[in-house]
Every structure is written in C-alpha cells, then in structure tokens.
C-alpha cells in the first residue's frame, strides 16, 4: 500500500481513475477521471457521473498515482520477449484433417 499522498489540485482534491463494469461477466473498462477528497467520495461521485443511466454493476476507483502502466514509446522492447515463444501462437500447431471443429 502506498503511503505517499496523491498530488492535489488547486481545489485540494487528488485525481482518481474510474473503471466501470457495465454487465456481469464483462471486464471493467476505464470510464474517465475525477477529483475527490477521499476514496468513498470518489466512488460516490463516479457512480453519479459515470452510471447515470443505470448501466453499471460495479465501479472501481483508483488513485491516479497508484496506476502503473507501460509506455507506448517502449512497446517494442517491453513486449519483444513474447515474440520468441512461437508455441503461444495457434499457427505453431498442426491440426489433423480429421478435426472438424475447434
């Protein structure tokens, strides 16, 4: 758990990233960002802002400072190690002619 305080805006509230799951069985997707003084208020504000039409079944809020992501500029070196594992690709395997449905 991070002990550092999130950066604050001129209003004094940290930035939160909001993820909403629209239906059961689907993944949470990034819906946007908002400012709120704490996690409880961020969750309530996210509900009011991003699920006004009752399209959500679950909401996650995460302090923006706690999100760690890869850089698009480094995508080739970051994802390159997966390229030498050809067995992960379906074209690596031969499917017998007798197999009709996979």
CATH code (residue 50): 3.10.20.520
Q: For the whole model, what pTM was predicted?
A: 0.64
What confidence score (pLDDT) does residue 8 get?
53
Residue 99 lies in a domain: no
The band of 39, judged by pLDDT with boundaries at 50, 70 and 90, is very high
Residue 98 lies in a domain: no
Question: Residue 47: is it exposed, middle or buried by C-beta count within 10 angstroms (0-12/13-18/19+)?
Answer: middle
Residue 3 lies in a domain: no
Q: Are strands 29-35 and 15-21 parallel, antiparallel or unpaired?
A: antiparallel
Residue 47 lies in a domain: yes
Beta bridge partners of 88: none
Sign of the CA dihedral with 48 first, then 50, 56, and 57 last? negative
Total domains present in the chain: 1
Mean pLDDT of 58-84: 84
Residue 102 lies in a domain: no
Its domain, for residue 53, covers 15-92
Q: Is residue 15 within a helix (H) or strand (E), and if so which, with residue range?
A: strand 15-21
Write down the residue that tokens 């799951």 correspond to.
Answer: 21
Residue 100 lies in a domain: no
């Amino acid at each position: 758990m991070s002990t550092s305080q999130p950066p604050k805006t001129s209003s004094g509230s940290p930035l939160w990233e909001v993820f909403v799951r629209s239906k059961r069985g689907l993944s949470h997707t990034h819906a946007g960002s908002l400012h709120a003084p704490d996690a409880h208020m961020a969750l309530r504000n996210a509900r009011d802002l991003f699920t006004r039409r009752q399209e959500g079944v679950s909401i996650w809020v995460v302090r923006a400072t706690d999100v760690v992501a890869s850089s698009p500029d480094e995508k080739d070196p970051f994802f390159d190690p997966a390229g030498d594992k050809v067995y992960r690709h379906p074209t690596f395997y031969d499917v017998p002619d007798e197999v009709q449905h996979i």
